[in-house]
Chain A
């Protein structure tokens, strides 16, 4: 028996900000979930199950938050599942929800991911002191900066590649009313001259810390037929993991990421990603990760990703727009960041991305990664139903 085709018929996200003090945690997830239901033309009783994701519990200090959020998500009498795969969790949460529809366990599933970073301190939560261990010498930026240096050494990329990406993504965010950062005055020169935090990563090449949530309604063929607006169809989805550290780990282009993309492309019948995919929304928390992921995902040959960025191909008017939403560099509620990538991919093929719409986008890739470049989640969505 073949799988049930999965459609995205509802997408909602909150306004994202450094601190959403106007809403509680339940109020935050509710804001996104309500918008997703409205988009799908549904109400709470139409949902059969809820799949929730967020990054580590220490980020808010609420253990098993799915319990206290059930009321806000209308989950009484329904299954509630929680997924946890660090920064990639927003993507893997959507994939778990999709699998419930594909397997015909449920017809309509609400999936939600969130983070309210202002209620804690992510730097603290990610570097908990461990007895007998030397203190960690750097935060998230410091963790990834040496890998960026390794990428530059391997590829010979010019030093301003990262600035090009940061400028592009922050300019795209100006077209996205939901984005956290709206830096109207940002210029390429300002990015290039922003303070060097973890050399080679500059301040303006670094993601913000945001409060926010994202939600999607996933449904079957019959649900898609009833939907008031065009659906996005799932053509392929996969997750892969690998250890944080092992001899031969290739941080610049991790094998788990390559294998995950290969699996997604096989499912979707993609043989030439650069040609077959119209737009990509990639998890780029530090600007240099755009060229790195372009190579990891097969859009460019190894060592050549920076050329794609430098050529303007990844700009909104290029032939492979990357991060039309403004990306993680403009909005980063960590647990929701992966789902925001998946949601943007779906918005693009539905033709509902507003001012950051890529004209004629028919197939889009949503990508998320997390931990020490060790968890990967991706989906490829299209405007047409998958061939069955």
Chain B
């Protein structure tokens, strides 16, 4: 569910994605290597239960299972223990068309594995249904090596205990990449939207706290000290004072700025909170605390491209000391 943004608020999509890596450890690494070889391995606990997928540690007792090497091979056939129909698959899910999420207890296992069942509709899925694995044509050592499950018309075979397996394969899988992606709609809120809208006109604004009278830049809608809403919009800058800074010598990814450059805290005239910006128009090794600067925009940009020296005398230390 998504609430409507407040009138006058800006909104924009925000996507966060990253290819996280996973060190698999001895048990999941063996399990996924087995899938690559079309072998489904479980692990036997000291109490005799066969866990599929296997876990490194016994969920019942916490005992380490990897050290005991108690791998067993289970069948590629099994029984649906419960299911849910997925009418609208999302990107990255096992099948692009509607399918059933199923928990499958493979023959020889005591626990169920979550996967997809390729079925024509919910009418064709039931608890207790017999299913078997459809292997992916290309397998890399991942859960997707099982493309999905499909209904198995063969009658259930008589129960057969899972067979011990050494759990060793040539060229074992030790890591995998797990891409993750989150899609948000970002809404900065009314105070920030007011500030950003003014910035688009190349006007710098803050908001004054009605309780402590401090001018906050950029405004966040409330005073962090007093906890009350800010309402009065106050023009600030465009001149200000460098309170402190560092010289950045290492190039950040995704940032089209040549190093070295100066990243500074700038107390805009009329503001009580320094904002952050880049100093240009002066050699980086001549930037100093107290330097007087002003905002510089390039056409079509919302935020100042950088701040440059105004040529005024430096501000005395006492003028900005309390803002360090």
Please give the residue numbers on chain A whose beta carbons come within 8 Å of chain B beta carbons, in ascending order. Answer: 19-27, 30, 44, 58, 60-62, 70-76, 116, 118-121, 123-125, 128-132, 134-135, 137-139, 142, 145-150, 153-154, 195-201, 243, 245-248, 250-252
Contacts and interface: CB of A to CB of B under 8 A. Distances in A.
A143 to B, nearest CB: 9
Contact of A71 (B58, B223, B224, B302): B58
B247 A245 contact: no
Given A142-B263, A252-B324, A44 B278 contact: no
B154 interface: no
Contacts of A131: 10, 12-14, 186, 188
A25 B276 CA distance: 37
Given A44-B62, A123-B253, A199-B246, 20 more contacts: A25-B23, A27-B56, A71-B58, A71-B62, A74-B62, A76-B61, A76-B62, A121-B18, A132-B188, A134-B303, A142-B263, A146-B263, A149-B289, A154-B324, A195-B249, A197-B248, A198-B250, A199-B260, A248-B225, A248-B322
4 nearest A-B pairs in the assembled complex, by CB-CB distance: A74-B62, A24-B25, A145-B246, A131-B12
Interface stretch (B69-77, B130-138, B172-180): B172-180
Interface in B182-232: 186, 188, 192, 196, 212, 214, 216, 223-225
B128 interface: no
Nearest to B180: A61
B62 A73 contact: yes
Given A23-B25, A27-B25, A60-B20, A142 B246 contact: yes
B12 A200 contact: no
Nearest to A78: B62
A288 B24 CA distance: 38
Given A24-B56, A61-B178, A197 B250 contact: yes
B324 A128 contact: no
Contacts of B253: 123
Contacts, number: 173
B23 A24 contact: yes
B324 A119 contact: no
A30 B57 contact: yes
B23 A26 contact: no
Contacts of A118: 21, 23
B247 A71 contact: no
Contacts of A74: 57, 61-62
Interface in B130-168: none
A371 to B, nearest CB: 13
Interface string B259-275: 01101110000001100
16 contacts: A24-B22, A118-B23, A124-B18, A130-B186, A134-B277, A137-B261, A137-B263, A148-B246, A150-B243, A150-B324, A153-B317, A197-B248, A197-B250, A243-B225, A247-B225, A247-B273
A42 B175 CA distance: 33
A119 B21 contact: yes
Given A118-B21, A154-B324, A71 B13 contact: no
B187 to A, nearest CB: 9
A146 B246 contact: yes
Nearest to A44: B62
Contact of B18 (A120, A130, A148): A120
A278 to B, nearest CB: 33
A196 B249 contact: yes
Nearest to A128: B16
B64 interface: yes
Given A154-B324, A247-B272, A130 B14 contact: yes
Interface in B47-73: 55-62, 64, 66
Most buried by A among B26, B174, B223, B249: B249
A193 to B, nearest CB: 14
A377 to B, nearest CB: 21
Contacts of B58: 71
A238 to B, nearest CB: 22
Contacts of B186: 130-132
Contact of A243 (B224, B252, B302): B224
A163 to B, nearest CB: 17
A154 B317 CA distance: 10
A116 B254 CA distance: 24
Nearest to B271: A247
Tell me which of A27, A119, A121 has the highest count of chain B C-beta atoms within 10 A of its own C-beta.
A27
Interface string B12-37: 11101010111111111000000000
A145 B249 CA distance: 12
A23 B26 CA distance: 8
B244 interface: yes
A246 B263 contact: no
A318 B288 CA distance: 36
A246 B223 CA distance: 8
B12 A250 contact: no
B245 interface: yes
A129 B255 CA distance: 12
Contacts of A124: 18
A125 B20 CA distance: 11
A199 B284 CA distance: 11
A134 B255 CA distance: 11
Contact of B245 (A71, A149, A247): A149
A136 B247 CA distance: 14
B265 A146 contact: yes
